[in-house]
């Protein structure tokens, strides 16, 4: 997506060697601030790059100091352990790497859910992947635990725990992993920290490797659709923070819990804003790695590169709509909204013979009216779970490390094939993630059947 740069973004200011922290700051530490795509949140980037270590840390800076402090203390503790390992190491074939980044999964006036992804590679040892995640009450800055969210209702907590166990045992079955007694593992304490996802319609626990289940089970995200437990969540705190359907309402069809459909770890790479001059090169790369991807196309660019679209289709990639002229769809007239969708669907149909059934609204911006138009056309909205912010950092290494840091089973990774740096990052992403056992599938294969008008992942 082409984002509108605010002055802050390219006013990136480098402040070298003046960052204060308790431990002795290595002399090559740099930091700078940049806007994030999340409303009200900026990022502070800290980098260290020398013979011993290659570190990139992205801290969220929200409007609430208390939230910022909790997250940065938690990140700093992990980083200090990493620095100690680096200090103690004696052999340096190549630098040890650490990448820490974050994703916001829920951001309303009342609630904020954040996941921090940590990837560390200490030469030779397995890359360690960890997560930390919280839901905050945005006003007070307090962490909302499961007990707060359920207002101390044991019945509610039990319902959520039992839904979580079901989710895990299903995943284990699908992955053909050995059965395991979840009663010992999944309880109130283990689930205390949670995030809200899917536009306020689900609770989730994005667990890193070995954080609850034995290491051999890999990473796992537990998702509980709120509709399945909403009768237990009729309390003011839950209503304030998430979308709790009223008891009289029919529960909404439960969309958007992407359950992995194959035993392996799978990821959907998605490329927006094309087709463009680098798209053919990208197709060559994807062919070479036998990776499938999904392209969200700008309708007005399609007819000039219809051959490229035919090639995408013939190689098993998925084609999606990304509007005709890339406006914020929630801000245009009903007529323009319809024509942004239809003109693009028609252009794609003209090129490859079929209309797409998925659409990514530019900037991830939509509202009920927009989703209704999608629904009427049998289309589902597809956003993303990992943003490489490749439009902001035209640097293949940064783009690669963000994609790799955010990767987990079921992730939808956002990139833009209109930037040569992004296309050049793809071999690095495919290599790194293949080594970790991932395969690359289309959005359709990642998510399975999608409900028209619903939003994924």
Query: Where on the chain is the footprint of Zn ion (CB under 5 A)?
Result: 1, 272-273, 362
Catalytic residue among 272, 273, 387, 393: 272
User: Shortest approach of Zn ion to residue 416 CB, angstroms?
Assistant: 7
In the complex, the smallest distance separating the C-beta of residue 326 from Zn ion, rounded to whole angstroms, is 6
Nearest to 36 by CA among 6, 2, 74: 6
Min dist. Cβ of residue 423 to Zn ion (A) = 16
Nearer to Zn ion, 29 or 272 (CB): 272
- C-beta separation of 203 from 106 below 8 A: no
C-alpha 154/C-alpha 91 separation (Å) is: 52
Cα within 13 Å of Cα(277), Cβ side: 3
Instruction: Give the nearer residue to Zn ion in terms of CB position, either 272 or 390.
Output: 272
State the catalytic residue, choosing from 106, 317, 322, 416: 416
In the numeric block, which tokens belong to residue 260? 């992995």
Backbone angles phi, psi at 301, to 5 degrees: -95, -5
Number of residue whose CB is nearest Zn ion: 1
CA pair distance 3, 305, nearest whole angstrom: 23
CA separation for the pair 393, 399 (Å, rounded): 7
Task: Find the shortest distance in angstroms from Cβ 308 to Zn ion.
Answer: 17
Output Rg (C-alpha) for the chain, integer angstroms.
22
Minimal distance in Å, beta carbon 154 to Zn ion? 46
Rounded to whole angstroms, the Cα distance separating 9 from 385 reads 22
Our CB check for Zn ion shows the closer of 48 and 416 to be 416
Question: Toward Zn ion, which CB reaches closer, 261 or 365?
Answer: 365
Residue 1 or 78: which CB sits closer to Zn ion?
Answer: 1
**Is-contact 426 283, C-beta < 8 A?**
no
Strand partners, 22: none
**Among this protein's residues, is 272 annotated catalytic?**
yes
Query: Encoding tokens for residue 358?
Result: 């998925």
Residues annotated as catalytic are 272, 416
């Amino acid at each position: 997506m082409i984002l509108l740069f605010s002055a802050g973004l390219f006013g990136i200011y480098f402040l070298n060697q003046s960052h204060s922290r308790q431990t002795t700051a290595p002399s090559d530490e740099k930091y700078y601030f940049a806007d994030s795509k999340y409303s009200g949140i900026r990022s502070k980037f800290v980098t260290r790059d020398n013979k011993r270590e290659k570190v990139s840390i992205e801290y969220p800076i929200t409007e609430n100091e208390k939230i910022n402090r909790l997250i940065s203390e938690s990140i700093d503790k992990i980083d200090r352990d990493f620095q100690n390992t680096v200090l103690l190491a004696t052999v340096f074939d190549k630098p040890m790497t650490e990448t820490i980044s974050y994703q916001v999964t829920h951001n309303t006036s009342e609630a904020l859910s954040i996941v921090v992804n940590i990837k560390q590679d200490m030469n030779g040892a397995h890359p360690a992947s960890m997560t930390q995640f919280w839901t905050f009450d945005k006003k007070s800055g307090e962490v909302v635990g499961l007990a707060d969210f359920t207002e101390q209702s044991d019945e509610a907590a039990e319902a959520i725990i039992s839904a979580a166990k079901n989710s895990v045992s299903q995943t284990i079955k699908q992955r053909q992993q050995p059965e395991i007694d979840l009663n010992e593992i999944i309880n109130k304490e283990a689930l205390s920290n949670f995030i809200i996802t899917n536009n306020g319609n689900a609770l989730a626990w994005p667990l890193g490797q070995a954080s609850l289940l034995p290491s051999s089970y890999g990473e796992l995200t537990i998702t509980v659709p709120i509709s399945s437990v909403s009768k237990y969540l009729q309390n003011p705190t839950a209503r304030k923070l998430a979308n709790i359907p009223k008891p009289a309402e029919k529960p909404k069809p439960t969309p958007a819990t992407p359950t992995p459909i194959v035993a392996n770890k799978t990821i959907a790479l998605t490329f927006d804003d094309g087709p463009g001059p680098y798209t053919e090169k990208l197709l060559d790369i994807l062919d070479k790695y036998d990776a499938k991807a999904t392209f969200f196309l700008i309708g007005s660019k399609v007819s000039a590169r219809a051959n490229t679209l035919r090639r995408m289709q013939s190689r098993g990639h998925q084609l999606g709509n990304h509007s005709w002229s890339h406006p914020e769809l929630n801000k245009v007239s009903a007529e323009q909204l319809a024509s942004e969708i239809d003109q693009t669907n028609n252009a794609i149909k003209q090129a490859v013979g079929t209309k797409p059934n998925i659409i990514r609204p530019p900037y991830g911006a939509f509202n009920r009216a927009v989703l209704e138009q999608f629904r009427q056309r049998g289309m589902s909205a597809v956003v993303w779970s990992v943003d490489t912010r490749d439009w902001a950092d035209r640097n293949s290494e940064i783009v690669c490390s963000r994609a790799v840091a955010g990767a987990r089973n079921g992730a939808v990774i956002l990139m833009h094939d209109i930037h040569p740096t992004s296309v050049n990052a793809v071999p690095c992403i495919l290599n790194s993630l293949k080594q970790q056992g991932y395969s690359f599938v289309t959005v359709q294969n990642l998510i399975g059947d999608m409900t028209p008008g619903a939003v994924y992942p």
